Amino acid sequence: MNIFTTFKLALRALWRNKVRTSLTMLGIVFGIAAVISTMAAGQGAQASLREAFASLGTNVLMVSSGSTRQGGVMGGGGTQMSITWDDMQAIKDEVPTAKYVAPLLQARNQQIASDQSNWNTSVQGTTGTWFKIRAWDAAEGTVFDEDTGNSNAKIAVIGKTVKTQLFGEGNALNQTIRIQNQPYEVIGVLATKGQGPMGDNDDIVVIPVKTFQQKLSKGLGKYIPGQILVTTQEDNQADTTIAKISGLLRDRHKLDASDDDDFRIRNPAEYAQVRQQSAERVSTLLAIVAAVSLLIGGIGVMNIMLVSVIERTREIGIRMAVGAKPRDVMTQFLLESIVLSTIGGVLGFALGYGGAHLIADMFGYKFFFPTETGFIAFAVSTAVGVGFGLYPAIRASQLDPITALRYET
């Protein structure tokens, strides 16, 4: 008996028991769908996390003033003014692994107004270098160059969210916005960056650093009321650069070996790595749970096939009596198991794709469909059909024809 004839017999046997066939496939369908959707959710979460931290810029270090300590009570970061403008210049001049250095001053919850509307947002004061650190260009108009960024010009570059809230779909360039009742000319609208670790990246107004000092922070003398952002020359220079900056600042601030740092240096990449590892662990755990469900589906296939062998004992005896060989019987039952698993794998693939979309929409992740994982899961479902269908098939092929013919269901 050729394989094609055996395959037709297997399909006919499955079609005769449609309800049992469908119920048997459910375990495979949901097992494959669970594997694909959980892997898609995990990888989508990791991709969204990478993009979120990449929006801060690459190889970025954040240097800020330290915290106060009074009577055992610690103040928050930046409560002890210690980082000066001269410190920033020293970092530029004396830390060779520093590529870009820029100040970042920030005033949150500022009410911004245009002639048409108003909006509460964050205003930042910085130089033209900040846009290089963030790798952030203007979608309309232009960003600051080094001269305008270090000037006291009353100009602003706004994010897409601010532009939409203040001007709708209209033109924002060369329009006037008011910050604390002071007029600023919009010279650029930043390209969209989307969500980041701190919220909506596009909900921002950027003005020159000196203008910020004069109009918003009212001037704090030599101290920087914010952060210094530093990027490294190479990807692997973060630790070296932190050590050099730390040594430089301790020396400039005349701190003894027993003194604590009066400044803070943060590396967002470390937080990103920790969160990435956490996401990977959760993703792996979910994948294991899904794989267990696939295993249970395979056991279900084997169980149903064993029941089928018992129910069809007389049929097997008749086939052997008219000339079918044990190999033919084994092949038929094995093909039935493989067909069950393959069709279940196809349906599970489709259901997993839909589940991945649903999870991405529900949790706001970037949709990511792991094609390789999907095909691997599909291959595994076929392997499950072979693995769990092999024992029932062998058992069927080893039945004694005489005994099988006498079997009464």
The pair of structure tokens assigned to 137 is 């260009």
> Domain end: 176, 201, 230, which one?
230
Q: What is the pLDDT of residue 198?
A: 61
Beta strand segments in 117-181, E: 118-126, 138-141, 155-158, 176-179
Kindly state whether residues 150 and 36 are assigned to the same domain: no
Q: Is residue 121 part of a domain?
A: yes
C-alpha 36 chain-centroid distance: 16
Kindly state whether residues 203 and 125 are assigned to the same domain: yes
CA–CA gap between residue 266 and residue 170 (Å, rounded): 39
Q: Is residue 195 part of a domain?
A: yes
Q: How confident is the model at residue 78 (pLDDT cuts 50, 70, 90)?
A: very low
> pLDDT tens, 364-376?
666 767 677 667 7
For all residues of the chain together, what is the average pLDDT? 79
Q: How confident is the model at residue 71 (pLDDT cuts 50, 70, 90)?
A: very low
Q: Is residue 253 part of a domain?
A: no
Q: How confident is the model at residue 143 (pLDDT cuts 50, 70, 90)?
A: very high
Q: What is the pLDDT of residue 73?
A: 42
| Element holding 230 (H helix, E strand) | strand 226-232
For the full predicted model, state whether its pTM sits above 0.85. Answer: no
Q: Is residue 331 part of a domain?
A: yes
Kindly state whether residues 284 and 189 are assigned to the same domain: no
Q: Is residue 20 part of a domain?
A: yes
Kindly state whether residues 400 and 280 are assigned to the same domain: yes
Kindly state whether residues 192 and 134 are assigned to the same domain: yes
Given a cut of 50, is residue 74 above it in pLDDT? no
Q: What is the pLDDT of residue 327?
A: 78
Q: Beta partners for 183?
A: 178
Q: Beta partners for 74?
A: 69
Q: What is the pLDDT of residue 101?
A: 93
- Of these ranges, 153-157, 268-272, 305-309, the one predicted with the greatest mean pLDDT is 153-157
CA–CA gap between residue 26 and residue 347 (Å, rounded): 9
The pair of structure tokens assigned to 81 is 């003014």
Given a cut of 60, is residue 221 above it in pLDDT? yes
Give the residue from 176, 103, 204, 188 showing the smallest Cα distance to 143: 188
Percent of the chain with pLDDT strictly greater than 90: 27
Q: What is the pLDDT of residue 373?
A: 66
Kindly state whether residues 188 and 129 are assigned to the same domain: yes
Q: How confident is the model at residue 37 (pLDDT cuts 50, 70, 90)?
A: confident
Ordered DSSP codes for 38-89: HHHHHHHHHHHHHHHHHTT-SSEEEEEEB--EETTEEPPTTSB---BHHHHH
Residue 329: Cβ within 10 Å count: 26
Identify the sign of the CA torsion 382, 384, 387, 391. negative
Average pLDDT over residues 320-336: 75
Kindly state whether residues 198 and 307 are assigned to the same domain: no
Q: How many domains does the chain have?
A: 2
Q: Is residue 244 part of a domain?
A: no
Q: Is residue 258 part of a domain?
A: no
Identify the sign of the CA torsion 117, 119, 124, 130. negative
Q: How confident is the model at residue 17 (pLDDT cuts 50, 70, 90)?
A: confident
Q: What is the pLDDT of residue 276?
A: 60
CA–CA gap between residue 317 and residue 266 (Å, rounded): 76
Kindly state whether residues 213 and 145 are assigned to the same domain: yes
Kindly state whether residues 313 and 226 are assigned to the same domain: no
Kindly state whether residues 293 and 395 are assigned to the same domain: yes
Kindly state whether residues 380 and 298 are assigned to the same domain: yes
> pLDDT tens, 209-220?
999 988 887 655
Domain boundaries, position 208: 102-230
Q: How confident is the model at residue 190 (pLDDT cuts 50, 70, 90)?
A: very high
Kindly state whether residues 107 and 223 are assigned to the same domain: yes
- Of these ranges, 55-64, 231-240, 289-298, the one predicted with the greatest mean pLDDT is 231-240
What Å distances lie between residue 165 and 141, 168, 172, 175, 205, CA to CA? 18, 6, 11, 14, 12
Q: What is the CB-side half-sphere exposure of residue 171 using CA atoms within 13 A?
A: 6
CA–CA gap between residue 20 and residue 24 (Å, rounded): 6
CA–CA gap between residue 12 and residue 18 (Å, rounded): 10
Q: How confident is the model at residue 393 (pLDDT cuts 50, 70, 90)?
A: low
Average pLDDT over residues 20-36: 76
Angle, in degrees to the nearest 10, between helices 238-252 and 85-94: 130
Q: Is residue 302 part of a domain?
A: yes
CA–CA gap between residue 382 and residue 298 (Å, rounded): 10
Q: Which amino acid is at 267?
A: N
Residue 225 is given by DSSP the state S
